[in-house]
Chains A and B, each alone.
Chain A
Amino acid sequence: MDITELTVHELQEKLKNKELTITEITKAYVNRIDKKEKDIQAFVTTLKDEALEEAKRIENEKTDGDFVGIPIGIKDNICTKGIKTTCSSRMLENFVSPYDATVIEKIKKENMINLGKLNMDEFAMGGSTEYSYFKKTRNPWNLNKVPGGSSGGSAAAVASRMVPWALGSDTGGSIRQPSSFCGVVGLKPTYGLISRYGLVAFASSLDQIGPITKDVYDSAMLLNIIAGYDKRDTTSSNVEKKDYTKALKNDVKGLKIGVPKEFFGEGINEEVKESLENAIKVYKELGAEVEEFSLDIAKYSLATYYIIACAEASSNLGRFDGIRYGYRAKEFKDLKDLYRKSRSEGFGPEVKRRIILGTYVLSSGYYDAYYKKAQQVRTLVMNEFNKAFQKYDVLLTPTSPTVAFDIGSKSNNPLEMYLADICTVSVNIAGLPGISIPCGVDKENMPIGMQLIGDKFQEEKILNAAYTFEQKIKFRENHRPDEKEEG
């Protein structure tokens, strides 16, 4: 038995039956990192020795709890006390947070073991993890392909079994799109379900932390751990605590699924389209009622998203000024020069592009035409989704119009890179929950992702729909990354 093949709920079972020890599990993952990381490049910081020590400590203390000793990987924009949080940026290359993010506190409370901090596009801006200052993470299904982004390190680490599960963050698709590219399960919860305290802000009104896992059951479990109101984040919602695994009924009879036809139009890859059509067929066979409808407003989502996200980012990233922490230029003439050089040298090109765009749309004289207009469209998008959810329980779309693309093929074409977010951004704009699960592979054995969108705080519905589909097609049993060296 290869321990790293197991899901977290399977690990729990083995721990409970004393078939495995915490140290054995941790060792298995450390060995796996030793073996795979040189190819995948998913980590910014690995915590191998620390993890093994932690495993020993926990074992000696004989602590009780469902997740004691379960390893996890953390996207490198979630603050961890005493461990570097770089956001994959030169700006924060040596930044060590003085405090833990709320989700990290929760994970520590469960006595889980942090295996390391995972690579990402710089400050979560990008869709391929190529904009990391440190390294390019590779897709475990094909090392010449990108893992997606911005949580590319998290998705690749889960897909290559270097961590059993991971936390990512999603501002416009950054959990779902890399999960789709890497053939794993990625959930972007409803805005406000998870505390953002300690998540380095990209776009405050859109950012949300979420789980990236091997299967839907693990997704529900990790959501159980991290969800909940936090008084330190006033945008978090005080909703009743739930056990999301209870929603996994393996039954979608009578479930009303809406398929917005705009998501299947121009630009969608034929194989992706076929795979999604097949998924629709599966749902119908399982007893769901599937109906096509029009979500016309969706076509404005991408523009709206880039205006709002960049506007907020331009302000959020102002604090990286070289004064208190982070990168400071070695030589400067005066204060302005200190700012200019530190930010010019500390930020990469995509971050600068978005800061400039965001600064522009907030400038006096342009505010009304861009930012204000975008906020108005945002309201319209929300209204359209509201209308759809009066009719449907769940909406079904592709996660991305394509499978993972070749490394280097889009990194010099920002607009084309932005288009990779076209299916995911409207979910963030409307603050809804969305999950990406694998629904098949293309001819080159690259995974294809399906996105299920729910109404606000209706994670249970999309989790159950995803779970039921997963139980039917058994993706993990039928498809796996092509690992020649393992025979």
Chain B
Amino acid sequence: MLRDEYETVIGLEVHAELSTKTKIFCSCPTSFGAAPNTHVCPICMAMPGTLPVLNEKVVEYAVKAGLATECTISQDSKNDRKNYFYPDLPKAYQISQYDKPLCEHGKIEIEPHTGKKTIGITRIHIEEDAGKLNHDDFGRGSLVDLNRAGVPLIEIVSEPDLRSSEEVDLYLRKLKSILEYIEVSDCKMQEGSLRADVNVSVRKKGESKLGTRTEMKNMNSFRSITRAIEYEIDRQIDVIENGGKVEQETLRWDEVSGKTFSMRDKEDAQDYRYFPDPDLVAIKLSDEYIENIRKTLPELPESRKQRYLTEYGLSEKDANIITSSKYLSDLFEEASKICKNPKAVNNWIISDISRILNETEMDPVEIPFDSKQLAKLVMLIDKGTISSSIAKKVLVEMFEHPRDPEDIIDEKGWVQISDEGAIREVVSKVLANNPQSIADYKAGKEKALGFLVGQAMKETRGKANPQMLNKMFKEELK
């Protein structure tokens, strides 16, 4: 295959919105979804005469992200202006960091099918987000919403260490989980609080020189990032194989057509005229400041995973799934603590819960019930109040109309039948209706027992206690 003759080189620029309460240079709220231009003030609207004041939380969060990815934290950093004109950029410059980023030289470990691998992090810097253009449906032009202008971002730039869409996917998931663990970003891709620009190039295997890269923007899910990369690798190889040259350009990924389109080529490459922002003083961080932040770092996914292997006896695969999200991991630990049955909690998370999340493309953060409710579900099974097949239905209900599992069971009348008399009645009825099965069982066909239990469950709409059914059928058939 042609692909095998090529090597892909990928580097990522990830923008993560920081979850500070207020914007980076003013005290407007950062919350998502407000009516247009309601989270604005003279500063983030760039009224003449206004000045930025750096939100210290932004520095703290960025340093946290740097420490969690093993970066060196710069003690002498500054803000620079990146100048360009666009209606969503009210000052006509973005306050960012150019030659002195806050964090440098970090790394993240991933585990693709080819084995463990370290991805280098070139730098992490702080900057402000731009506003948003809403294109008028009636063709009267575009409307500017500046709610997002000045929302703090960190840009995390990776080394070109990634070699496949699989590695990119794993790197992004790992990065996302780290940012969630340290609680600096909620990383909601749909709301745009985690965005990735992907630089892709291909070269013939064995070639030491990098190929010409293209930069892809506008992907807002893991799936579209993978698709876009796969498409772009094929496109580039195709260009080269047909004797062409890959142009250095910025591409826009179109989700609907599954293709990339040129946004601008090198000819329009902008000169951003970076220079130090004279309105802001240098960012000087003491050793003590950095160490204090280091002390507040929570347990990171890698260390949690190790603990789950030893403390709870989880398999490596399960531990990986659970620790991939701070929310799942917290759910697991808290629910296990309450119900004292980590094995069961683990099973629920990696099977039914993960399946529902996948099917509904839901982020773990959006799970509508809490650890207490999950623990209750497990305990209801353990106590024999419901069967595990009923429990599956209860879980679906917990996703759809979140409330306590007891309430669901009460309302639906799903309490397990454990009354001996009632069970015996059902057993008698099933036996009376299935003489052939009795004969089969007596002839040594163990399977017949399962069939009879199944019939009894059907009769009771799944509510009968399966252990009791088993026991009673065996007794009757002796």
List the interface of chain A (C-beta within 8 A of B). Answer: 77-79, 85, 87, 92, 95, 97-99, 101, 196-201, 203-205, 231-235, 311-312, 314-315, 318-321, 323-325, 335, 339, 359, 362-364, 367, 371
* Complex-state Cα separation, A200 to B49, whole angstroms: 4
Q: List 11 A-B contacts (CB under 8 A).
A: A92-B48, A196-B49, A199-B49, A204-B278, A234-B51, A235-B51, A235-B281, A312-B278, A319-B92, A320-B48, A364-B271
* Complex-state Cα separation, A101 to B48, whole angstroms: 10
**Apart from A312-B278, A319-B48, A324-B90, what are 17 other A-B pairs with CB-CB below 8 Å?**
A79-B48, A85-B48, A95-B48, A99-B50, A200-B48, A200-B49, A231-B53, A233-B51, A234-B51, A234-B280, A235-B280, A315-B92, A318-B91, A319-B91, A321-B85, A363-B271, A364-B271
B56 CB, min distance to chain A CBs, angstroms: 11
Interface residues on B, range: 20 to 34
Please tell me if B54 contacts chain A, counting CB pairs below 8 Å.
yes
Please tell me if B439 contacts chain A, counting CB pairs below 8 Å.
no
> Could you say which residues of chain B place their CB within 8 Å of the CB of A98?
42, 47
Assess whether A232 is in contact with B271, with CB atoms less than 8 Å apart. no
Assess whether B279 is in contact with A315, with CB atoms less than 8 Å apart. no
Please tell me if B83 contacts chain A, counting CB pairs below 8 Å.
yes
> Could you say which residues of chain B place their CB within 8 Å of the CB of A200?
48-49
> Could you say which residues of chain A place their CB within 8 Å of the CB of B48?
79, 85, 87, 92, 95, 97, 200-201, 319-320
List the interface of chain B (C-beta within 8 A of A). Answer: 42, 45-54, 81, 83, 85, 87, 90-93, 144, 271, 273-275, 278-281
Q: Beyond A315-B273, A318-B93, A319-B92, is A234–B45 a contact (Cβ under 8 Å)?
A: no
Partner of A318 from the list B83, B279, B280 (CB cut-off 8 Å) is B83
Q: Beyond A98-B42, A234-B54, is A318–B275 a contact (Cβ under 8 Å)?
A: no
Closest to B272 in A: A364
Partner of A201 from the list B49, B53, B90, B273 (CB cut-off 8 Å) is B49
* Complex-state Cα separation, A35 to B46, whole angstroms: 39
B224 CB, min distance to chain A CBs, angstroms: 27
> Could you say which residues of chain A place their CB within 8 Å of the CB of B280?
234-235
Closest to B83 in A: A315
* Complex-state Cα separation, A311 to B274, whole angstroms: 11
> Could you say which residues of chain B place their CB within 8 Å of the CB of A320?
48
A238 CB, min distance to chain B CBs, angstroms: 12
Partner of B92 from the list A205, A312, A321 (CB cut-off 8 Å) is A321
A12 CB, min distance to chain B CBs, angstroms: 30
Assess whether B87 is in contact with A198, with CB atoms less than 8 Å apart. no
Assess whether B53 is in contact with A232, with CB atoms less than 8 Å apart. yes
Assess whether B279 is in contact with A235, with CB atoms less than 8 Å apart. yes
Assess whether B45 is in contact with A324, with CB atoms less than 8 Å apart. yes
> Could you say which residues of chain A place their CB within 8 Å of the CB of B87?
321, 323, 335
> Could you say which residues of chain B place their CB within 8 Å of the CB of A371?
275
Assess whether A101 is in contact with B49, with CB atoms less than 8 Å apart. yes
Q: Which 3 A-B pairs have the closest CB atoms?
A: A318-B92, A205-B278, A362-B273
* Complex-state Cα separation, A362 to B83, whole angstroms: 10
* Complex-state Cα separation, A320 to B279, whole angstroms: 18
* Complex-state Cα separation, A237 to B90, whole angstroms: 28
* Complex-state Cα separation, A425 to B54, whole angstroms: 29
> Could you say which residues of chain A place their CB within 8 Å of the CB of B45?
324
> Could you say which residues of chain B place their CB within 8 Å of the CB of A198?
49-50
B55 CB, min distance to chain A CBs, angstroms: 11
> Could you say which residues of chain B place their CB within 8 Å of the CB of A362?
83, 273-275
Closest to B48 in A: A200
